Amino acid sequence: MNYSILIVVGKSLINYSAYAPEVPGCVATGKTLDETIRLMREAVQLHLEGIIEDGDEMPLSADPTDEAHFVEVEVETTVRTLHQSS
């Protein structure tokens, strides 16, 4: 059975990391983008096989024609000072 799962990949200063929003707890990291995607594919496959084996409900399959979009937001922050009594 073929299944399409959306993965999100991010880059840090030293590596890449990925997760699947529809498959909580399924994550992977790697030194390169290709390695991270490969490891995430393996992680998702193992996770879904475990779901089937346990008889649990499968997550929704992603539509491979969906587009990913990024949004930028400006967040105001307030610095709070903690006061301790002596």
Q: What digits encode the pLDDT tens for the residues 11-31?
A: 999 999 999 988 888 999 999
Query: How many angstroms separate the Cα of 74 from the Cα of each of 68, 71, 77?
Result: 20, 10, 10
On whether the CB atoms of residues 11 and 21 are closer than 8 A, the answer is no
Model confidence pLDDT, tens digit, residues 34-58: 999 999 999 999 999 998 899 998 8
Q: CA–CA separation, 28 vs 39, rounded Å?
A: 6
Q: Angle at Cα 46 formed by Cα 65 and Cα 10, nearest 5°?
A: 55
Domain parsing of the chain, residue ranges:
8-54
Task: Give the model's confidence band at 33: pLDDT under 50 very low, under 70 low, under 90 confident, else very high.
Answer: very high
